[in-house]
């Protein structure tokens, strides 16, 4: 399931992040590439432990914690510290699948990547190319979102970033370890939660809404792994 999360960051937050990133020192994106990614990755990124990456990462995490659609779709147990990348001058990231397990910086703990996320920080009309192409059973989906919006998709998906041929593409990227590891179960819970919210907004049968809410939480208890 691919879910667009609108307005994770507001206009002022995006502007402040972009201004800070324009002055930032960048390192070769290969610094965090796995064996597979190293063959096709050509971009730059902030050093993971840099003060700016940590500061902006905390801003992104705080925004995600307040976004009900992200919580509903991801059911996050933990979010990998957000990182930041930059594409320009033909830079690209070829087709790859994200590593299933990463080590959390500074802890040595293993982190399972259930979901991947890209938060766009530059408006789509300011650069050419740079589309994120995500493949699933229905084909390839091209994603190029307004600044401040985020795309959430299964980390098991084959995906790539098209070459940026004009301007600069700035983004934050991260992974989510969900409380519900199984993608099918997570998708069912998301559909059920979406239906419950629609019932609440339309003042539909309250007894039916409460019954469905009970089903949602009982399924969550059955499937959750924390």
Q: Is 35 annotated as a binding residue?
A: no
Secondary structure of the chain: what % helix, strand, coil (to 5)? 35, 30, 35
Q: Are 93 and 43 in contact (CB under 8 A)?
A: yes
For the chain, the straight-line distance linking the first and the last C-alpha, in angstroms and rounded, comes to 22
Q: Is 169 annotated as a binding residue?
A: yes
Strands (E), 155-225: 158-161, 164-166, 168-178
Closest by alpha carbon to 43, among 144, 203, 157, 173?
Answer: 173
d(CA 27, CA 147): 23
Q: Are 93 and 134 in contact (CB under 8 A)?
A: no
- What residues form the annotated binding site for 2-oxoglutarate? 169
- What residues form the annotated binding site for Fe cation? 96, 98, 159
- What residues form the annotated binding site? 96, 98, 159, 169
């Amino acid at each position: 399931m691919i879910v667009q999360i609108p307005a994770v960051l507001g206009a002022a937050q995006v502007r402040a992040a972009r201004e800070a990133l324009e002055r930032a020192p960048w390192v070769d994106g290969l610094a965090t590439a796995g064996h597979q990614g190293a063959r096709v990755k050509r971009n730059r990124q902030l050093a993971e432990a840099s003060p700016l990456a940590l500061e902006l990462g905390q801003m992104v995490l705080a925004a995600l914690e307040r976004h009900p659609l992200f919580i509903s779709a991801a059911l996050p147990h933990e979010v990998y510290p957000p990182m930041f990348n930059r594409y320009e001058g033909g830079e690209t990231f070829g087709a790859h699948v994200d590593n299933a397990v990463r080590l959390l910086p500074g802890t040595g703990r293993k982190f399972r990547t259930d979901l991947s996320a890209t938060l766009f920080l530059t408006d789509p009309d300011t650069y050419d190319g740079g589309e994120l192409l995500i493949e699933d059973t229905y084909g390839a989906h091209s994603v190029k979102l307004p600044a401040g919006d985020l795309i959430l998709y299964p980390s098991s998906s084959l995906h790539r970033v098209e070459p940026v041929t004009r301007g600069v593409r700035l983004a934050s990227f991260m992974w989510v370890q969900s409380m519900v590891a199984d993608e099918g179960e997570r998708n069912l819970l998301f559909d059920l939660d979406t239906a419950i919210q629609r019932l609440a907004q339309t003042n539909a049968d309250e007894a039916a809404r409460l019954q469905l809410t009970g089903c949602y939480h009982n399924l969550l208890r059955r499937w959750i792994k924390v």
